[in-house]
Structure 1
């Protein structure tokens, strides 16, 4: 039996704000964004990121367009300290990007934090302490007066250290942790104490960041709290009002949206909402919510699949297939009535009109997604079991995104034939679609690349391909950290491999290796898959690269055409000369 809430929990009191203005406002421009993926998101991982994974995610955040990035908690982790120093020492921070580091209010930690960012052109130091009654009583054993003295002392100590390094443009970010559970007059006193101790004003910027450290009320209550603080903070013109919402009640995005309507100028969060407990505010969701309302978020999510793959690789957390905007299945309709409405919507939609396709709140193409998987068959429509049949009869296990893509191929086939597909027909269709050793369907362009053979160097770092490319038989050489990278290098096409996997399709002497590659290519819409099958895994991998290259080339309009092979021929000649020289 669940305990009665009235006997165990303290409901949040309403804010006395009878003339609240936020309900009548709309969001008309993007807030300042801060990504905390590398700090708050990282500390919530079962296995925190190492330096290389952090660097890859940092570079992706820069590419997306973040201008403020919280890069770590350097006083708490040598890995974080070294990462921050690398960013500064190797001049890896773009001129228009400001890094932020976080520290608790302790003198030794503050000193170590300042040491970590010494020499940076710009730095935000994020100082925080909890202010809510339970934390004051249970954790710190302090009253309000003591908390205020605590804030003044530690902000003053940070000011003393940073004033000694005028070559860096310093900004204080102060957070009254547990703000949403703190009495408003106490929160205001805490923030005003930090503002005074920092000496905020012209040339001395300050960010006041108000978090729902633990989300404990409906979003409208948080909006009231933000509007009250917005009205009472002073000097308001020298303060950037920021919010950091969590998702304990599942309303982190809604709370941040209403907070912006209530006066917040800056929003913190993680790309896909990773963070402690139920996570931080999901920046992708909030940004694309704005986009669907005609407000550009000033962040680039035009290839949302690539962003998701980088985030998954760096954090080790797979994205839920139903995650808003970015999940593998969010643009997929199984219901027959949905499929019918979407088909009619596509037929009625013109290129220059506002987006108005039923059941699709955003145009998948705006996120770099194709329409191939929007309408997909499953068992409920009488044409399902595709993945089950291929695995049961041929040992082929496809990644989820490949299942979505191939089901669209099967859908087109069944629509044209007006018949069901059995296991044999399904396997033939898979071979025709993905395996380069099998001919293309009648009427399709000739493949750009036909591979006649290959030879892998002994060290596994180089490969020689015997191919017909663009109608010309030639030998290509490539280098890489394995057969996949070397084959991509040899082909000389602008391929980006997003995913690779291999598995056996049987057991014993008759088992074959199946290699599957997911890739994208400049000039071709979206990512797609290729496959190779052979008793030799290297051969299967090369076949998979050739397969995906041909499929992407067809999308880009290169299939059946001649291509400029000067780079490939010159590279092959150079490699041959080098081999001869070393012999």
Structure 2
């Protein structure tokens, strides 16, 4: 996301980043950012913002939630058709993502919206914390695992090969269950793992330890990218995101000015400036992780 990006951005490979110190930026201003009060956008406004995000050098643009409305579907499709097919100055075409719940209707609609992009990605998600599984989903762990595996397979059957599977409320989920959950979706074909601090309550050292544990204990983790999505309810979104990068996350999810649901998300400009600062200060900062208290 600067003038040197043409020299430093590695080749885009599903589930792998050739440069171990490179960090992908996913901007979700057009989806999570729109949930901020007063931030609703038309399809044309979303397209205008997506154009600017591509010029900034954002690796991945989460264009919206196509099943939410016809307007959102139209916006995602417009972005996929234009921004998702246009090379920027460095020859890179951003990945365009459509979010969807774990059901066939959502996934099929999301794929129809995004499939014309050069690099289309689907982002199905499901809750994994005990409180969400019991009271929101009313599902057992085994049922959630089966849904996740089945929906990854369904997405792949439509032709999608770039699948980011999101674990909603991962920060409050049982560790052993997360290892199994992510191992299962990797085996089913997921290429990126979405780890959310959905209610924004995790301390930075806790979140860094969570990412380190997932990296160390998930079967097949070498086949997928760890992504993090942090909310700012206690003011820790940027700090949690940076700690996650230190622990092995290689996709950081942000919004412009940190806008988003409730207190917002990690801010694009904060995460990027801090990332650049520490890379200049110490090139090992994002590769030699040690959690506070270890």
Coarse TM-score class (shorter-chain normalised): 0.7 to 0.9
The corresponding residue for 2:264 is: 279
Cα deviation code 1:511-566 (max 9, x no counterpart): xxxxxxxxxxxxxxxxxxxxxxxxxxxxxxxxxxxxxxxxxxxxxxxxxxxxxxxx
The corresponding residue for 1:22 is: none
Q: What is the correspondence of 1:29-178 to structure 2 with a 5 Å cutoff?
A: 29-90=21-82, 93-95=85-87, 96=92, 97-162=94-159, 170-178=161-169
1:91 shift after superposition? 6.5
Cα deviation code 1:147-196 (max 9, x no counterpart): 11121222222121226xxxxxx300001110000011111121122112
1:290 to 266, 271, 275: 275
1:250 shift after superposition? 0.5
Q: What is the correspondence of 1:127-276 to structure 2 with a 5 Å cutoff?
A: 127-162=124-159, 170-198=161-189, 206-276=191-261
Cα deviation code 1:208-231 (max 9, x no counterpart): 111101122311011111000011
Q: Distance in 1 between matches of 2:111 and 2:266?
A: 28
Q: Structure 1: which 5+ residue stretches go unaligned?
A: 1-27, 164-169, 201-205, 297-583
Q: Distance in 1 between matches of 2:219 and 2:120?
A: 23
Q: Distance in 2 between matches of 1:139 and 1:99?
A: 29
Q: Distance in 2 between matches of 1:47 and 1:246?
A: 17
Structure 1 residues 152 and 236: CA distance shift in structure 2, 3 A:
closer
Structure 1 residues 92 and 256: CA distance shift in structure 2, 3 A:
closer
Structure 1 residues 45 and 58: CA distance shift in structure 2, 3 A:
farther
Q: Distance in 2 between matches of 1:135 and 1:259?
A: 23
Taking structure 1 as the reference length, what is the TM-score of the superposition?
Answer: 0.42
Q: Distance in 1 between matches of 2:278 and 2:155?
A: 42
Number of equivalent positions: 257
The corresponding residue for 1:527 is: none
The corresponding residue for 1:317 is: none
Q: Distance in 2 between matches of 1:64 and 1:120?
A: 19
Q: Distance in 2 between matches of 1:295 and 1:51?
A: 39
Q: Which protein is bigger by CA-based radius of gyration?
A: 1
Q: Distance in 2 between matches of 1:102 and 1:266?
A: 16
1:141 shift after superposition? 1.4
1:43 shift after superposition? 2.8
Cα deviation code 1:24-82 (max 9, x no counterpart): xxxx9551101011111013343511122212211111111112111111121211211
The Cα RMSD (Å) is 1.9
The corresponding residue for 1:314 is: none
Could you say what secondary structure the match of 1:155 adopts?
helix
Cα deviation code 1:120-140 (max 9, x no counterpart): 221110010001111111112
Q: Structure 2: which 5+ residue stretches go unaligned?
A: 1-19, 282-294
Q: Distance in 1 between matches of 2:83 and 2:250?
A: 29
Could you say what secondary structure the match of 2:166 adopts?
strand
Could you say what secondary structure the match of 1:49 adopts?
coil
